[in-house]
Amino acid sequence: MLVKDHRKRVLEHAEKIGCSTVVSFNPEDTFYLTGFWGESVGICSRDSTKIITPALETNRAEEVALSCEVISAERGKGMLLRVIDELAGKSVCTDSTDFHTIKMMAEKLGEKNVKVNNKPFTMSRIIKDLDEQENISKAAKIIDCLFNLSSEQIRKNKKEIELLALLVSETYILGGTLVSYKSTRFPFIIAGGPNAAFPHSEITTRPFSTGDTVIVDLVVQYEGYVADATRTFVIGHATDEIKQAYECVKDAQQTGLDSLRSAADFGNVDLACRNLVIDRGYGSKFIHSTGHGIGLEVHESPWISKTGKEKVMPGMCVTIEPGVYVNGRFGVRIEDSVIIKSANGKIDSPKIRNTISNLNSFPKDLICLS
């Protein structure tokens, strides 16, 4: 892990907004700067990187963190005060958005010395170096194995929760880890029949049934880095209605992927994908954004939505995931994780700026399982 490069990059962004020191409260940002994922605060400036951590994490931080000073402090308010001690006299930028943390930092360090701005982190993390791309690729390969297993296992009367139990176990066996974020209670989405019409369906004990579409949306982390991909299977025979929705989503997803090669910004990527869905008459049934950045978090910058302003740049890793949801009946979503790479003039069109490395190779043609 190239923490040296990460630190340099984050500090360059911080210096542009007049800060000499960054303070990370988010575990992902601290991991990015130090290689340590745990209960801790990171402090990074040109001359040193420090981790402030409670006693129970100190020894682990000392073993894991790369070229850092590890400082032990009381948990809770004591830890914040210790962090503030370390920051005396510095101009600080922090990723914390916690009201109480910021208030105390401003009181003790002077309001003008504290910037609440996570941009140095998001702008650094948005471009993945080769090591990071490699980890995301490995996570995506694990997901492909899990799709393969899903296609073998999904059948009539099998329950969503049974498939989940198998997939989580296999994730760990394959070297991945699970990720969760606060507003979902399950690490994957496995949604059959009417459940597939909820984009964020919770996993149930419902058995799969003939005619179901089954959405399998998997998020796997490898060495801290996340890939995210989705396939939709059909049990038995696909009706014309399902086939039509499926083809729409498949074509929209390809259009979204293609647009990454030439679109100026991510708003245009969303538009390209969404317009195809609208043209086919499913506009009101595509009820979420087209995709998102992936990295240390499942959802991070860039955001691929109608209002996405971020430029499409080589080194970004994103997902493209259109879906069509027919409430009470069925849903279809297809998603890949991709790396955007520079075309480097290799393509003979001035409009094509990027090439796309699709990290998921599991087929996207409609698969009907018995």
Residues present in the chain in total:
370
- Closer to its own copies at the Cβ: 233 or 303? 303
* Least spacing, CB of residue 331 vs its own copies, in Å: 10
CB 88 within 8 A of CB 114: no
- Closer to its own copies at the Cβ: 195 or 354? 195
- Closer to its own copies at the Cβ: 41 or 318? 41
* Least spacing, CB of residue 73 vs its own copies, in Å: 12
Tokens of 307: 């209002």
- Closer to its own copies at the Cβ: 261 or 291? 291
* Least spacing, CB of residue 342 vs its own copies, in Å: 30
- Closer to its own copies at the Cβ: 100 or 155? 100
CB 176 within 8 A of CB 224: no
Question: With 0-12 CB in 10 A as exposed, 13-18 as middle and 19+ as buried, what is 80?
Answer: buried
210: left (phi > 0), else alpha (psi -120 to 50), else beta?
beta
CB 32 within 8 A of CB 8: no
- Closer to its own copies at the Cβ: 112 or 185? 185
Tokens of 45: 């400036």
Residue carrying the six token digits 């329950």: 159
* Least spacing, CB of residue 202 vs its own copies, in Å: 7
* Least spacing, CB of residue 178 vs its own copies, in Å: 7
Question: With 0-12 CB in 10 A as exposed, 13-18 as middle and 19+ as buried, what is 174?
Answer: middle
CB 302 within 8 A of CB 126: yes
Residues contributing to the site for its own copies (CB under 8 A): 26-27, 37-40, 54-60, 75, 96-100, 102, 116, 161-162, 164-166, 168-173, 177-180, 182-187, 197-203, 221, 224, 287-289, 305, 325, 327
* Least spacing, CB of residue 177 vs its own copies, in Å: 6
